[in-house]
Structure 1
Amino acid sequence: MVNELYRKQLYFPFSHESRLEMLVEKERKRLLKQRIIMHIDMDYFYAQVEERDNPKLKDRPVIVGADPKKGMGRGVVSTCNYLARERGVKSGMPISRAYRLCPEPECVYLRPRIDYYTRESEILMQIIVEETKAMVERPKFEQVSIDELYIDVSSLRSYKRAKELAKLIKRKIKEKRKLTCSIGIGPNKLIAKIASDYQKPDGLTVVKPNDVDRFLVPLDVDALYGVGPKTKMRLNALGIKTVGDLRRFSLDFLKQNFGKFGEDLYLMAKGIDLREVVEGFEIKSIGKQHTFEYDTRDLVEIRKVLLAEAKAIDKELNDFGLAYRTVTITVRFEDFETHTKSKTFALPQTGWSTLLEVGWDLFKEFYYASKKRIRLVGLRASRLVELSQLKVLKNETRRF
Structure 2
Amino acid sequence: MSETPQAFETLQIHAGAKPDPATGARQVPIYQTTAYAFRDADHAAALFNLQEVGFIYSRLTNPTVFALQDRMAALEGGAGAVACSSGHAAQILALFTIMGPGMNIVSSNRLYGGTVTQFTQTIRRFGWSASLVDIDDTAAVEAAIDENTRAIFCESIANPGGHIADLPALAEIADRHGIPLIVDNTTATPYLCRPIEHGATLVIHSLTKYLTGNGTVTGGCIVDSGKFDWSANDKFPSLSQPEPAYHGLKFHEALGPLAFMFNAIAVGMRDLGMTLNPQAAHYTMMGIETLSLRMDRHCENALKVAQWLENHPAVDHVTYAGLPSSPVYDRVAKICPKGASSLFTFALKDGYAACVKLIDSVELFSHVANLGDTRSLIIHSASTTHRQLTEAQQVAAGAAPNVVRVSIGTENADDIIADLEQALAKATA
**TM-score, length of structure 2 as denominator length:** 0.30
Bigger strand fraction: 1
Bigger helix fraction: 1
Bigger relative contact order (CA 8 A; separation at least 6): 2
